[in-house]
Structure 1
């Protein structure tokens, strides 16, 4: 079940990077170079992660990579919360943007559980 949930999350997020790249470049912190490239690269990685999880073809090193990836993109979630108005995200309640932060840990924990089951 965790594989399906995580696979779905990664697939949807990955596809969204390609359908709406401007939204993702907008939430990329200002200090990051090559924003468009980063958006497409992270979208591709998320898509591949989703496929691997659905096919149940992951190894521990891949799950480790997914965990590291989640922490790598974590600053974008913090940036969304701390720069809500600047990014034009007023339509989202502040608590929803804040709620994304612990969600990252939950996803890392789910991947950790998958590693233990292998």
Structure 2
């Protein structure tokens, strides 16, 4: 198995598992959605489904590039939730360094997905 194939499989599995986790731990995901987005349950559900579908599509050669672009768009769309989560952590003085690391990690994840476009 090539390094590129292994990287693709790891990415796909991570997104599929992350998507499933939206349904296993919905309270966590709903708690980090900024209030101005409205229906937190629906947003959590849609983002979880999107992660699962995009993760599966990554493994389908005819759809890998489309899935990678979808992941990039999803990562951009959820960035406000990451900022909101960081701000909540900052106010409560909880896990600030972990939440701060997560912000630039989004750009690494976007780059990783871009490598499959």
Using structure 1 for the length normalisation, give the TM-score.
0.84
The number of equivalent residue pairs is 112
- Structure with bigger RCO (C-alpha 8 Å, 6+ apart): 1
Provide the aligned C-alpha RMSD in A.
1.9
| Structure 2: stretches of 5+ with no match in the other structure | 1-5
State the 1:59 CA deviation: 4.3
Q: Which residue in 2 is equivalent to 1:114? A: 116
Q: Is the 8 A contact 2:58 2:67 kept in 1?
A: no
What is the CA–CA distance in structure 2 between the aligned matches of 1:70 and 1:29, rounded to whole Å?
A: 15
1:102 aligns with 2:104: yes
Q: Which residue in 2 is equivalent to 1:47? A: 52
- Map 1:1-118; keep pairs closer than 5 Å: 1-84=6-89, 90=94, 93-115=95-117
| Structure 1: stretches of 5+ with no match in the other structure | none
What is the CA–CA distance in structure 2 between the aligned matches of 1:89 and 1:80, rounded to whole Å?
A: 12
> Segments of 4+ in structure 1 off by > 4 A?
none
State the 1:63 CA deviation: 2.0
Q: Is the 8 A contact 1:15 1:43 kept in 2?
A: yes
More helix by percentage: 2
What is the CA–CA distance in structure 1 between the aligned matches of 2:90 and 2:103, rounded to whole Å?
A: 18
Using structure 2 for the length normalisation, give the TM-score.
0.85
